[in-house]
Amino acid sequence: MPRWLAALGVAIAIAEPARAGVGDVFGLGPEIMGMAGAGSALSDGPWAAHNAPAGLAFATAGRLSLGVIALGSQLEIGGSSTPIEDPVGILAGISVVRRLEGPIVTSVGFGIAAHLVPGTLGHVHQRTPETPFFLCYDNRTQRAMLLPALAVGLGGKVALGLSLDVFAGIEGPLAAREGQSGEVESSLFLDIVTTIRPTPSIVVRPGAGLSFALTYHPQFSVPYELDVDAGIPGLDMTMHVSGRALYTPHTLVLGAAWRSARIGIALDLSWAAWSLMGSPFVEVEARILEIGLLAPSNPTIRMSDAFGVRLGIEAKVLAAGPVDLVLRAGYGYESPVVGEQTGRSNLMDGHKHTWALGLGTGWTTGRESVPRVLVDLHVGGVVLSRLAHHKIVSDPADGRNDPTLIVDEDETTPGIQVTNPGYPSISGGGWITTAAFTITLEVR
Protein backbone atom coordinates (compact mmCIF):
# COMPACT_ATOMS: atom_id res chain seq x y z
CA MET A 1 0.00 0.00 0.00
CA PRO A 2 2.73 2.60 0.71
CA ARG A 3 4.23 1.92 -2.73
CA TRP A 4 0.81 2.24 -4.33
CA LEU A 5 0.13 5.51 -2.56
CA ALA A 6 3.50 6.82 -3.73
CA ALA A 7 2.69 5.82 -7.31
CA LEU A 8 -0.68 7.53 -7.06
CA GLY A 9 0.98 10.65 -5.70
CA VAL A 10 3.30 10.71 -8.71
CA ALA A 11 0.34 10.38 -11.07
CA ILE A 12 -1.46 13.31 -9.49
CA ALA A 13 1.74 15.39 -9.36
CA ILE A 14 2.19 14.90 -13.10
CA ALA A 15 -1.32 16.21 -13.64
CA GLU A 16 -1.06 19.35 -11.56
CA PRO A 17 -2.05 22.44 -13.60
CA ALA A 18 -0.28 25.75 -14.15
CA ARG A 19 -1.49 28.70 -16.15
CA ALA A 20 -0.26 31.02 -18.92
CA GLY A 21 3.21 32.59 -19.23
CA VAL A 22 4.96 35.81 -18.26
CA GLY A 23 3.87 37.56 -21.48
CA ASP A 24 0.20 36.92 -20.75
CA VAL A 25 0.56 38.41 -17.27
CA PHE A 26 2.83 41.44 -17.68
CA GLY A 27 3.50 41.83 -21.41
CA LEU A 28 6.77 40.98 -23.12
CA GLY A 29 9.76 43.26 -23.62
CA PRO A 30 10.94 46.27 -21.57
CA GLU A 31 9.63 48.78 -24.13
CA ILE A 32 5.96 47.82 -23.77
CA MET A 33 6.39 47.02 -20.06
CA GLY A 34 7.85 50.51 -19.56
CA MET A 35 4.48 51.86 -20.74
CA ALA A 36 2.50 49.60 -18.36
CA GLY A 37 1.64 47.14 -21.14
CA ALA A 38 0.38 49.74 -23.63
CA GLY A 39 1.93 50.01 -27.08
CA SER A 40 0.73 46.97 -29.05
CA ALA A 41 0.15 49.34 -32.00
CA LEU A 42 3.79 50.54 -31.82
CA SER A 43 5.53 47.18 -31.29
CA ASP A 44 7.65 46.12 -34.30
CA GLY A 45 10.69 44.36 -32.79
CA PRO A 46 11.08 40.78 -31.54
CA TRP A 47 8.53 41.27 -28.74
CA ALA A 48 5.85 41.98 -31.33
CA ALA A 49 5.68 38.19 -31.73
CA HIS A 50 3.57 38.29 -28.57
CA ASN A 51 2.22 41.84 -28.40
CA ALA A 52 1.01 42.20 -32.03
CA PRO A 53 2.67 39.86 -34.58
CA ALA A 54 1.59 41.98 -37.57
CA GLY A 55 3.84 44.81 -36.36
CA LEU A 56 6.91 42.86 -37.54
CA ALA A 57 6.11 43.90 -41.12
CA PHE A 58 6.61 47.59 -40.21
CA ALA A 59 10.09 47.16 -38.72
CA THR A 60 12.81 49.33 -40.23
CA ALA A 61 15.72 47.10 -39.14
CA GLY A 62 16.60 43.64 -37.91
CA ARG A 63 17.12 43.16 -34.20
CA LEU A 64 18.77 40.65 -31.89
CA SER A 65 17.90 41.08 -28.18
CA LEU A 66 19.00 39.43 -24.95
CA GLY A 67 18.09 40.33 -21.41
CA VAL A 68 16.53 39.41 -18.06
CA ILE A 69 13.24 39.98 -16.28
CA ALA A 70 12.79 39.93 -12.50
CA LEU A 71 9.62 39.83 -10.42
CA GLY A 72 9.06 40.52 -6.75
CA SER A 73 6.00 39.92 -4.59
CA GLN A 74 4.60 41.81 -1.64
CA LEU A 75 1.30 39.96 -1.85
CA GLU A 76 -0.12 38.55 1.36
CA ILE A 77 -3.16 36.52 2.41
CA GLY A 78 -4.29 36.49 6.01
CA GLY A 79 -1.03 38.07 7.12
CA SER A 80 1.16 35.48 5.35
CA SER A 81 3.34 36.50 2.41
CA THR A 82 2.77 34.92 -0.99
CA PRO A 83 6.01 34.90 -3.03
CA ILE A 84 6.33 34.53 -6.78
CA GLU A 85 8.44 31.45 -7.40
CA ASP A 86 11.15 31.45 -10.11
CA PRO A 87 11.17 35.27 -10.13
CA VAL A 88 14.03 35.63 -12.65
CA GLY A 89 13.69 34.78 -16.33
CA ILE A 90 15.77 35.17 -19.48
CA LEU A 91 14.47 37.21 -22.41
CA ALA A 92 15.67 36.55 -25.95
CA GLY A 93 14.38 37.68 -29.31
CA ILE A 94 15.26 38.11 -32.96
CA SER A 95 13.45 39.81 -35.82
CA VAL A 96 14.19 40.43 -39.49
CA VAL A 97 12.28 42.25 -42.22
CA ARG A 98 12.55 42.27 -46.00
CA ARG A 99 11.15 45.00 -48.25
CA LEU A 100 9.59 43.84 -51.52
CA GLU A 101 8.71 45.63 -54.72
CA GLY A 102 5.49 43.71 -55.40
CA PRO A 103 2.23 45.56 -56.12
CA ILE A 104 0.45 44.03 -53.10
CA VAL A 105 2.94 42.41 -50.70
CA THR A 106 5.40 45.13 -49.72
CA SER A 107 7.23 43.54 -46.78
CA VAL A 108 7.69 40.29 -44.92
CA GLY A 109 8.72 40.18 -41.27
CA PHE A 110 9.78 37.24 -39.14
CA GLY A 111 10.48 37.12 -35.42
CA ILE A 112 10.98 34.85 -32.44
CA ALA A 113 10.39 35.96 -28.86
CA ALA A 114 11.31 33.79 -25.89
CA HIS A 115 11.02 33.81 -22.13
CA LEU A 116 13.06 31.06 -20.46
CA VAL A 117 12.91 29.85 -16.87
CA PRO A 118 16.50 28.96 -15.81
CA GLY A 119 17.01 25.24 -15.39
CA THR A 120 13.59 24.03 -16.52
CA LEU A 121 10.86 24.30 -19.14
CA GLY A 122 8.35 25.07 -16.44
CA HIS A 123 6.94 24.35 -13.02
CA VAL A 124 3.44 23.14 -12.24
CA HIS A 125 1.58 23.58 -8.96
CA GLN A 126 -1.86 22.54 -7.78
CA ARG A 127 -3.87 24.08 -4.99
CA THR A 128 -6.80 22.42 -3.25
CA PRO A 129 -10.15 24.28 -3.42
CA GLU A 130 -9.76 25.43 0.19
CA THR A 131 -6.23 26.82 -0.22
CA PRO A 132 -6.08 30.64 -0.48
CA PHE A 133 -4.12 31.82 -3.53
CA PHE A 134 -4.10 34.59 -6.13
CA LEU A 135 -5.67 33.12 -9.26
CA CYS A 136 -4.10 35.57 -11.71
CA TYR A 137 -0.54 35.34 -10.36
CA ASP A 138 -0.08 31.92 -8.79
CA ASN A 139 2.28 29.85 -11.00
CA ARG A 140 1.40 31.86 -14.14
CA THR A 141 4.95 32.99 -14.99
CA GLN A 142 6.72 29.68 -14.37
CA ARG A 143 6.97 28.26 -17.87
CA ALA A 144 9.09 28.80 -20.93
CA MET A 145 7.54 30.65 -23.88
CA LEU A 146 8.86 30.34 -27.43
CA LEU A 147 6.85 32.33 -29.96
CA PRO A 148 7.76 32.23 -33.68
CA ALA A 149 5.85 34.80 -35.75
CA LEU A 150 5.37 35.79 -39.38
CA ALA A 151 3.94 39.05 -40.73
CA VAL A 152 3.08 40.26 -44.23
CA GLY A 153 2.78 43.94 -45.15
CA LEU A 154 0.11 44.84 -47.69
CA GLY A 155 0.37 48.10 -49.60
CA GLY A 156 2.62 49.73 -47.02
CA LYS A 157 -0.26 50.62 -44.67
CA VAL A 158 -1.76 47.31 -43.57
CA ALA A 159 -0.09 44.19 -42.17
CA LEU A 160 -1.33 40.77 -41.12
CA GLY A 161 0.57 38.60 -38.66
CA LEU A 162 0.43 35.30 -36.82
CA SER A 163 2.48 33.82 -33.99
CA LEU A 164 2.40 30.32 -32.51
CA ASP A 165 2.70 29.33 -28.85
CA VAL A 166 3.55 25.63 -28.78
CA PHE A 167 3.44 23.41 -25.72
CA ALA A 168 2.41 19.84 -24.86
CA GLY A 169 -0.09 17.89 -22.79
CA ILE A 170 -0.05 14.33 -21.50
CA GLU A 171 -2.42 11.40 -21.59
CA GLY A 172 -2.13 7.69 -20.93
CA PRO A 173 -2.52 4.91 -18.36
CA LEU A 174 -0.67 4.12 -15.16
CA ALA A 175 -1.07 0.56 -13.88
CA ALA A 176 -0.03 -1.08 -10.60
CA ARG A 177 -0.11 -4.86 -10.17
CA GLU A 178 1.27 -7.44 -7.75
CA GLY A 179 4.26 -9.08 -9.43
CA GLN A 180 5.55 -12.62 -9.12
CA SER A 181 7.75 -11.60 -6.20
CA GLY A 182 4.78 -10.22 -4.31
CA GLU A 183 6.03 -6.66 -4.72
CA VAL A 184 3.92 -3.95 -6.34
CA GLU A 185 5.01 -3.39 -9.93
CA SER A 186 3.83 -0.40 -11.91
CA SER A 187 3.90 0.68 -15.54
CA LEU A 188 3.36 4.08 -17.07
CA PHE A 189 2.58 4.87 -20.73
CA LEU A 190 2.16 8.54 -21.57
CA ASP A 191 1.57 10.26 -24.89
CA ILE A 192 2.87 13.78 -25.35
CA VAL A 193 0.06 15.73 -26.99
CA THR A 194 1.03 18.88 -28.88
CA THR A 195 -0.98 21.98 -28.06
CA ILE A 196 -0.69 25.07 -30.26
CA ARG A 197 -2.08 28.54 -29.66
CA PRO A 198 -2.12 30.74 -32.79
CA THR A 199 -2.24 34.48 -32.14
CA PRO A 200 -3.44 36.49 -35.17
CA SER A 201 -3.28 40.26 -35.45
CA ILE A 202 -3.75 43.13 -37.87
CA VAL A 203 -1.95 46.47 -37.77
CA VAL A 204 -3.01 49.51 -39.79
CA ARG A 205 -0.84 52.60 -40.16
CA PRO A 206 -2.77 55.05 -42.34
CA GLY A 207 -0.27 57.89 -42.00
CA ALA A 208 0.10 61.09 -39.97
CA GLY A 209 1.85 59.03 -37.27
CA LEU A 210 -1.28 57.02 -36.45
CA SER A 211 -1.28 53.29 -35.83
CA PHE A 212 -4.01 50.81 -34.90
CA ALA A 213 -3.66 47.16 -33.86
CA LEU A 214 -6.12 44.37 -33.14
CA THR A 215 -4.71 41.18 -31.58
CA TYR A 216 -6.56 38.05 -30.54
CA HIS A 217 -4.96 35.69 -28.01
CA PRO A 218 -7.08 32.50 -28.07
CA GLN A 219 -7.87 30.49 -25.00
CA PHE A 220 -4.89 28.29 -24.24
CA SER A 221 -4.62 25.23 -22.04
CA VAL A 222 -2.66 21.99 -21.93
CA PRO A 223 -5.00 19.03 -21.44
CA TYR A 224 -4.10 16.00 -19.39
CA GLU A 225 -5.89 12.66 -19.06
CA LEU A 226 -4.52 9.93 -16.78
CA ASP A 227 -6.17 6.57 -16.19
CA VAL A 228 -4.85 4.78 -13.11
CA ASP A 229 -5.55 1.04 -12.67
CA ALA A 230 -4.60 -0.71 -9.41
CA GLY A 231 -5.04 -4.46 -9.11
CA ILE A 232 -3.51 -5.27 -5.75
CA PRO A 233 -4.78 -7.84 -3.22
CA GLY A 234 -7.22 -6.01 -0.99
CA LEU A 235 -7.52 -3.08 -3.39
CA ASP A 236 -9.13 -3.17 -6.81
CA MET A 237 -9.39 0.43 -7.95
CA THR A 238 -9.45 2.56 -11.09
CA MET A 239 -8.99 6.31 -11.16
CA HIS A 240 -9.40 8.96 -13.85
CA VAL A 241 -7.48 12.22 -13.38
CA SER A 242 -8.18 15.04 -15.84
CA GLY A 243 -7.96 18.76 -16.23
CA ARG A 244 -6.45 21.65 -18.15
CA ALA A 245 -3.06 23.11 -17.37
CA LEU A 246 -1.38 26.39 -18.33
CA TYR A 247 -4.70 28.15 -18.79
CA THR A 248 -5.07 31.62 -20.22
CA PRO A 249 -8.43 33.02 -21.38
CA HIS A 250 -9.61 34.28 -24.73
CA THR A 251 -8.17 37.82 -24.84
CA LEU A 252 -8.82 40.60 -27.34
CA VAL A 253 -6.55 43.67 -27.37
CA LEU A 254 -7.32 46.83 -29.35
CA GLY A 255 -4.46 49.29 -29.56
CA ALA A 256 -4.20 52.83 -30.90
CA ALA A 257 -1.11 55.04 -31.02
CA TRP A 258 0.30 58.24 -32.39
CA ARG A 259 3.99 58.85 -32.87
CA SER A 260 5.97 61.87 -34.02
CA ALA A 261 9.72 62.36 -34.29
CA ARG A 262 9.98 62.83 -30.52
CA ILE A 263 6.71 61.74 -28.86
CA GLY A 264 4.75 58.48 -28.85
CA ILE A 265 1.38 57.98 -27.12
CA ALA A 266 -0.29 54.56 -26.90
CA LEU A 267 -3.67 53.35 -25.63
CA ASP A 268 -4.63 49.67 -25.30
CA LEU A 269 -8.06 48.29 -24.38
CA SER A 270 -8.40 44.61 -23.47
CA TRP A 271 -11.08 42.04 -22.71
CA ALA A 272 -10.28 38.62 -21.21
CA ALA A 273 -13.01 35.96 -21.04
CA TRP A 274 -12.24 34.49 -17.61
CA SER A 275 -15.93 33.58 -17.23
CA LEU A 276 -15.35 30.68 -19.65
CA MET A 277 -12.56 29.08 -17.60
CA GLY A 278 -14.61 26.52 -15.69
CA SER A 279 -13.03 24.71 -12.74
CA PRO A 280 -9.42 25.67 -11.92
CA PHE A 281 -8.94 22.41 -9.98
CA VAL A 282 -7.97 18.86 -10.90
CA GLU A 283 -10.91 16.53 -11.51
CA VAL A 284 -10.54 13.07 -9.96
CA GLU A 285 -12.97 10.16 -10.31
CA ALA A 286 -12.21 6.86 -8.52
CA ARG A 287 -13.99 3.51 -8.57
CA ILE A 288 -13.25 0.98 -5.81
CA LEU A 289 -14.68 -2.50 -6.27
CA GLU A 290 -15.84 -2.89 -2.68
CA ILE A 291 -17.29 0.63 -2.41
CA GLY A 292 -18.31 1.86 -5.84
CA LEU A 293 -17.84 5.19 -7.56
CA LEU A 294 -16.15 8.02 -5.65
CA ALA A 295 -16.21 11.36 -7.44
CA PRO A 296 -15.35 14.20 -5.06
CA SER A 297 -16.90 17.41 -6.36
CA ASN A 298 -14.93 20.60 -6.70
CA PRO A 299 -16.71 23.86 -5.93
CA THR A 300 -17.91 25.86 -8.92
CA ILE A 301 -16.19 29.23 -9.12
CA ARG A 302 -18.10 32.11 -10.64
CA MET A 303 -15.62 34.25 -12.52
CA SER A 304 -16.03 37.55 -14.30
CA ASP A 305 -14.50 38.71 -17.55
CA ALA A 306 -11.62 41.13 -17.03
CA PHE A 307 -11.62 44.52 -18.75
CA GLY A 308 -8.46 46.58 -18.93
CA VAL A 309 -7.18 49.93 -20.14
CA ARG A 310 -3.52 50.91 -20.45
CA LEU A 311 -2.05 54.29 -21.37
CA GLY A 312 1.63 54.88 -22.12
CA ILE A 313 3.88 57.64 -23.38
CA GLU A 314 7.46 57.75 -24.62
CA ALA A 315 9.51 60.85 -25.34
CA LYS A 316 12.91 61.26 -26.99
CA VAL A 317 14.63 63.70 -24.65
CA LEU A 318 18.12 63.52 -26.13
CA ALA A 319 19.34 63.18 -29.69
CA ALA A 320 22.95 64.33 -29.60
CA GLY A 321 25.07 62.89 -32.37
CA PRO A 322 25.50 59.13 -32.02
CA VAL A 323 23.48 58.88 -28.76
CA ASP A 324 19.75 59.19 -28.14
CA LEU A 325 17.69 58.76 -24.99
CA VAL A 326 14.00 57.83 -24.66
CA LEU A 327 11.95 58.02 -21.46
CA ARG A 328 8.75 55.99 -20.99
CA ALA A 329 5.90 55.96 -18.47
CA GLY A 330 2.51 54.32 -18.22
CA TYR A 331 -0.54 53.40 -16.17
CA GLY A 332 -2.90 50.45 -16.52
CA TYR A 333 -6.06 49.18 -14.87
CA GLU A 334 -7.72 45.75 -15.00
CA SER A 335 -10.93 44.67 -13.31
CA PRO A 336 -11.12 41.71 -10.86
CA VAL A 337 -11.69 38.14 -12.05
CA VAL A 338 -13.13 36.71 -8.82
CA GLY A 339 -15.14 38.27 -6.04
CA GLU A 340 -15.99 37.41 -2.45
CA GLN A 341 -16.56 33.70 -1.79
CA THR A 342 -18.64 32.62 1.20
CA GLY A 343 -18.11 28.86 0.72
CA ARG A 344 -15.16 26.45 0.46
CA SER A 345 -13.02 28.22 -2.12
CA ASN A 346 -10.57 31.01 -1.26
CA LEU A 347 -9.41 32.37 -4.62
CA MET A 348 -8.02 35.88 -4.35
CA ASP A 349 -7.98 38.77 -6.80
CA GLY A 350 -8.72 42.49 -6.87
CA HIS A 351 -8.60 45.68 -8.88
CA LYS A 352 -5.18 45.84 -10.54
CA HIS A 353 -3.38 49.17 -10.95
CA THR A 354 -0.14 49.04 -12.95
CA TRP A 355 2.50 51.78 -12.82
CA ALA A 356 5.67 51.75 -14.87
CA LEU A 357 8.73 53.78 -15.88
CA GLY A 358 11.18 52.94 -18.63
CA LEU A 359 14.34 54.16 -20.30
CA GLY A 360 15.87 53.40 -23.66
CA THR A 361 19.14 54.54 -25.13
CA GLY A 362 20.76 53.97 -28.51
CA TRP A 363 24.34 54.32 -29.65
CA THR A 364 25.69 54.20 -33.18
CA THR A 365 29.11 54.69 -34.74
CA GLY A 366 27.75 55.74 -38.12
CA ARG A 367 29.48 52.80 -39.80
CA GLU A 368 27.25 50.46 -41.77
CA SER A 369 29.28 47.43 -40.73
CA VAL A 370 28.77 48.11 -36.99
CA PRO A 371 25.30 47.39 -35.54
CA ARG A 372 23.51 50.04 -33.53
CA VAL A 373 23.39 49.15 -29.83
CA LEU A 374 20.16 49.67 -27.89
CA VAL A 375 19.75 49.35 -24.13
CA ASP A 376 16.24 49.26 -22.66
CA LEU A 377 15.11 48.88 -19.08
CA HIS A 378 11.96 49.28 -17.08
CA VAL A 379 10.75 49.20 -13.49
CA GLY A 380 7.14 49.00 -12.44
CA GLY A 381 4.59 47.51 -10.15
CA VAL A 382 1.05 46.16 -9.96
CA VAL A 383 -0.99 47.24 -6.94
CA LEU A 384 -3.71 44.72 -6.11
CA SER A 385 -6.62 46.03 -4.04
CA ARG A 386 -7.62 43.99 -0.99
CA LEU A 387 -10.34 41.33 -1.27
CA ALA A 388 -12.02 39.88 1.82
CA HIS A 389 -13.96 36.62 2.16
CA HIS A 390 -16.57 36.31 4.94
CA LYS A 391 -17.62 32.70 5.34
CA ILE A 392 -21.13 31.40 5.93
CA VAL A 393 -21.71 28.08 7.73
CA SER A 394 -24.53 26.14 6.07
CA ASP A 395 -26.71 23.28 7.22
CA PRO A 396 -24.88 19.90 6.94
CA ALA A 397 -27.79 18.47 4.92
CA ASP A 398 -27.30 21.18 2.30
CA GLY A 399 -23.55 20.58 2.29
CA ARG A 400 -23.98 16.95 1.30
CA ASN A 401 -25.54 18.07 -1.99
CA ASP A 402 -23.51 21.20 -2.62
CA PRO A 403 -19.68 20.99 -2.53
CA THR A 404 -19.32 24.76 -2.50
CA LEU A 405 -20.69 25.15 1.03
CA ILE A 406 -18.96 25.24 4.40
CA VAL A 407 -20.60 23.11 7.11
CA ASP A 408 -19.94 22.07 10.70
CA GLU A 409 -17.48 19.20 10.28
CA ASP A 410 -18.27 17.53 13.61
CA GLU A 411 -21.85 17.91 14.80
CA THR A 412 -21.17 15.78 17.90
CA THR A 413 -18.85 18.43 19.33
CA PRO A 414 -20.29 21.62 20.85
CA GLY A 415 -19.74 24.70 18.74
CA ILE A 416 -18.87 24.95 15.06
CA GLN A 417 -15.91 22.88 13.83
CA VAL A 418 -14.50 24.24 10.57
CA THR A 419 -10.93 23.69 9.32
CA ASN A 420 -11.24 25.82 6.18
CA PRO A 421 -8.38 28.39 6.36
CA GLY A 422 -10.75 31.14 5.22
CA TYR A 423 -13.12 30.72 8.16
CA PRO A 424 -14.53 32.94 9.61
CA SER A 425 -12.95 35.53 7.31
CA ILE A 426 -9.77 36.10 5.34
CA SER A 427 -8.42 38.90 3.17
CA GLY A 428 -5.53 39.40 0.78
CA GLY A 429 -3.85 42.05 -1.33
CA GLY A 430 -0.54 43.82 -1.90
CA TRP A 431 1.66 44.54 -4.87
CA ILE A 432 4.08 42.99 -7.35
CA THR A 433 7.24 44.66 -8.64
CA THR A 434 8.63 44.09 -12.13
CA ALA A 435 11.94 44.96 -13.78
CA ALA A 436 13.41 44.09 -17.17
CA PHE A 437 16.65 44.86 -19.00
CA THR A 438 17.69 44.07 -22.57
CA ILE A 439 20.62 44.78 -24.88
CA THR A 440 19.77 44.84 -28.57
CA LEU A 441 21.89 44.86 -31.73
CA GLU A 442 20.10 46.60 -34.60
CA VAL A 443 21.14 46.06 -38.19
CA ARG A 444 19.63 48.10 -41.03
Q: Which residues contact 267 (CB under 8 A, 6 or more apart)?
A: 38, 255, 256, 257, 309, 310, 311, 312
Residue range 102-112: mean pLDDT, rounded: 91
Q: Which among 143, 152, 162 has a CA at the least distance from the CA of 48?
A: 162
| pTM, two decimal places | 0.83
Interval 270-299: pLDDT, tens:
999 999 887 777 777 777 766 665 656 677
Q: What fold is seen in the domain 2-443?
A: Porin (2.40.160)
Identity of residue 429 = G
Report pLDDT for 2: 40
Rounded to an integer, the average pLDDT of 72-94 is: 90
Query: Domains of the chain: which residue ranges?
Result: 2-443
- Is residue 184 predicted with pLDDT exceeding 80? no
Minimum mean pLDDT range among 188-192, 248-252, 332-336, 384-388: 188-192
- Predicted confidence (pLDDT) per residue in 295-347, tens digit: 566 777 888 999 999 999 999 998 877 899 999 999 999 999 998 889 889 99
- Band (pLDDT 50/70/90 cuts) for residue 15 is very low
